[in-house]
């Protein structure tokens, strides 16, 4: 079981669980990033919003993520894609939190909007429809 790291860190890693994964439509945002491998996180649950998933910090049996090493430019691009707002993170679509992975601490984007009524994924990957 991986536990979240609440302290802010300057990790160069990001854990992705949806359209940013290899072979999916937004993976090009990670062009130039080094793929480190796959992991399962038990501190997050996914919700299937249709065209993309949303992660909430809720216990699960292990959601599937891919971990990448990114630079500041790539991370800034991901922040734009995910509508993460550095100064007001709760006002964007996503916030981000450092999550422990098998490859070290990695940023995980967490959805700020309500997810009631959407299908829940408590184990494994999100699959596009």
Report residue 113 as tokens: 């909007």
Catalytic residue among 38, 66, 82, 123: 82
C-alpha dist (Å) from residue 41 to 28, 32, 83: 23, 24, 23
Active site residue 82: yes
The number of helix segments (H) and strand segments (E) in the chain equals: 1, 10
CB 96 within 8 A of CB 80: no
Active site residues: 82
């Amino acid at each position: 079981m991986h536990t979240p790291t609440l302290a802010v860190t300057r990790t160069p890693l990001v854990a992705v669980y949806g359209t940013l994964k290899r072979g999916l439509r937004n993976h090009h945002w990670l062009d130039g990033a080094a793929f480190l491998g796959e992991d399962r996180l038990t501190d997050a649950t996914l919700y299937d919003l249709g065209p993309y998933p949303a992660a909430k910090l809720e216990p699960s049996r292990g959601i599937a993520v891919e971990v990448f090493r990114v630079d500041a430019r790539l991370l800034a691009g991901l922040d734009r894609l995910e509508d993460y707002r550095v100064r007001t993170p709760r006002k964007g679509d996503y916030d981000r939190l450092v999550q422990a992975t098998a490859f070290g601490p990695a940023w995980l984007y967490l959805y700020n909007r309500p997810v009631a009524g959407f299908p829940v994924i408590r184990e494994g990957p999100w699959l596009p429809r």
